[in-house]
Structure 1
Amino acid sequence: MSATQLSTRGVLRSGRLTGLGLTAGERLVLIVLIDHADADGITFPAERTIANESGMQRSGVQKQLPALVRNGVIRVVQEGGPRSSTRYQIAPQLWTTG
């Protein structure tokens, strides 16, 4: 992992996901998003990638992503299209220090 990526382990160990009221599915999707995020919290894995890495069905991922947006855990930076993934930003309070 490069220094420009977020540390999934660091976010998990920090306890910042505790108390967010996330379902197990939301948490799995968020962990995959964090694992693919850059230093600014920008992440854009394909839904198929999220499904494969989380062990979920793609339809499940498609339900969890809007729930994470509604909960303020991620925000849409740029909508995807037929051949591009939606870009999300992880909420800064989950991965920044201070």
Structure 2
Amino acid sequence: MSVKIMSAVFESETLAPTERLIMLALADHADDTGRCYPSISRLGRRTGLSERAVQTNIRKLVNQGYIRVIAGGGKNNTNVYFVSANPAADAPCTKCTPAADAPQTPQQMRPNPAADAPEPSGTITKPSEEPLFIPPREKSKRATSISDDWKPSQKNIADAHKQNLTDWEIENESEKFRDYHKSRGTKFKDWDAGWRTWIRNSREFAARSAPRRQQPQAGQQFSGLAGAAMRSRVARQQGYEG
């Protein structure tokens, strides 16, 4: 807070009521150099004005030389304001009137300047044409843990059907998927992608683990139930052939 600037704003005789209110709100955030960077929404809350009204009056104050704006120069890309209770010396004058005893010149008697009137020699600082309000950046999505009641969505089920999983297999894999990641405390930004990887790996593992039928080799002996079944089948085949 700059008490110095606030006192000067209170004593100003040229500020309109709404402009004075915004200047006081800016001075409440400023240091003694007049530098501050409150957001438009914060100024609206402090003054009770709409954001549109705040922006409109800030443009007026810029044109009158009370405020200088650096768009996006503050924290989180907010505008930086340099506040002065007295208009800048080179600001365009909006309420200037000639002295009562000042002599009139031909150009002052014209309602509009002549078409070939020369450009003024003084340098006039134009207000910034950058927007006074810059929306905050969208926050990136954070990784989260799986919920205790996670169930596959319709999209997850559709992805599983593309891998030729049956409804029973989807239900079984979803329980294993949830219990596995819950026990390990896994965190993903995209759980849909994690599910697609899971069912793809599950299908590939099932294909590799499928039992293959092996033909008995000549002279190979089997014991136990396997041997009994093999001998029974051979006996039946010999009986048919006899």
Q: Smaller-chain TM-score range?
A: 0.7 to 0.9
CA distance in 1, matches of 2:52, 2:85: 27
Contact map agreement 1:41 1:91 (CA 8 A) in 2:
yes
CA distance in 2, matches of 1:92, 1:11: 6
What's the counterpart of residue 86 of structure 1?
Answer: 79
Q: Does 1:65 align with 2:58?
A: yes
Structure 1 residue 23, shift from structure 2 partner:
2.3
AA aligned opposite 2:72: G
Q: Identical aligned pairs, as a percentage?
A: 27
Contact map agreement 2:6 2:27 (CA 8 A) in 1:
no
Aligned residues: 84
Q: Secondary structure at the match of 1:40?
A: coil
Structure 1 residue 93, shift from structure 2 partner:
4.2
| Correspondent of 2:2 among 6, 14, 32 | 6
List runs of 5+ in structure 1 lacking aligned partners. none
Deviations 1:12-50 (A, max 9, x none): 55x1x22x2x22221111110011001211011100110
Q: CA RMSD in A?
A: 2.2
User: Larger Cα Rg: Structure 1 or Structure 2?
Assistant: 2
Matches within 5 A, 1:13-52: 15=11, 17-18=12-13, 20=14, 22-52=15-45
Deviations 1:35-85 (A, max 9, x none): 100121101110011000001011100101110000111112x2128x421
Contact map agreement 1:32 1:50 (CA 8 A) in 2:
yes
What's the counterpart of residue 228 of structure 2?
Answer: none
CA distance in 2, matches of 1:92, 1:27: 10
Contact map agreement 1:41 1:92 (CA 8 A) in 2:
no
AA aligned opposite 1:62: Q
AA aligned opposite 1:63: T
Contact map agreement 2:72 2:78 (CA 8 A) in 1:
yes
Q: Does 1:55 align with 2:52?
A: no
Q: Does 1:75 align with 2:71?
A: no
Higher relative contact order (CA closer than 8 Å, sequence separation 6+): 1
Q: State TM-score, norm by structure 1.
A: 0.73
Contact map agreement 1:37 1:43 (CA 8 A) in 2:
yes
**Structure 2 CA distance for partners of 1:40 and 1:55, relative to 1, 3 Å:** same
Greater share of residues in strand = 1
